[in-house]
Amino acid sequence: EVQLVESGGGLIQPGGSLRLSCAASGFTVSNNYMSWVRQAPGKGPDWVSVIHSGGSTYYRDSVKGRFTISRDNSRNTVYLQMNSLRAEDTAVYYCARTILGVDGYGFEVWGQGTTVTVSS
């Protein structure tokens, strides 16, 4: 069964750091595009970052220089290192297997999410 399980969220003070993990099962993350998508309370989803199967990484403008996406192939896990956290980073963070194919693009498998709250 294809599954994604996120962990690592919590309450953190502004300026602090967190590392989110996304453990995959049923498929190999290194053969896929993997994204992080967040959703602030009461808002729609926002894409945060993607790591391509070839290793290229991309970020939304508001997190560039603060967030880093990576993966550990031996653990079949994707990470999101978040530094210099701000109140506006407060959200549920989802990991998602991402399709970029000739038939279409989208986030086809989602985890259950992990909650990040940035507050003093």
Partner 1 sequence: EIVLTQSPGTLSLSPGERATLSCRASQSVSSIYLAWYQQKRGQAPRLLIYGASRRATGIPDRFSGSGSGTDFTLSISGLEAEDFAVYYCQQYGSPQWTFGQGTKVEIK
Asked whether position 111 contacts partner 1 by CB under 8 A, the answer is yes
x/- binding map, residues 19-58, to partner 1, per CB under 8 A? ----------------x-x------xxxx--x-------x
Phi and psi, residue 54, nearest 5°: -80, -5
Asked whether position 66 contacts partner 1 by CB under 8 A, the answer is no
| 3-state per-residue secondary structure call for the chain | CCEEEEECCEEECCCCCEEEEEEEECCCHHHCEEEEEEECCCCCEEEEEEECCCCCEEECHHHCCCEEEEEECCCCEEEEEECCCCHHHCEEEEEEEEEEECCEEEEEEECCCEEEEECC
Output 16 or 113, the one with its CB closest to partner 1. 113
Pick the stretch among 7-15, 17-25, 81-89, 94-102 that binds partner 1 (CB under 8 A).
94-102
Output 81 or 110, the one with its CB closest to partner 1. 110
Asked whether position 1 contacts partner 1 by CB under 8 A, the answer is no
Binding site for partner 1 (CB under 8 A): 35, 37, 44-47, 50, 58, 60, 94, 99-100, 102-108, 110-113
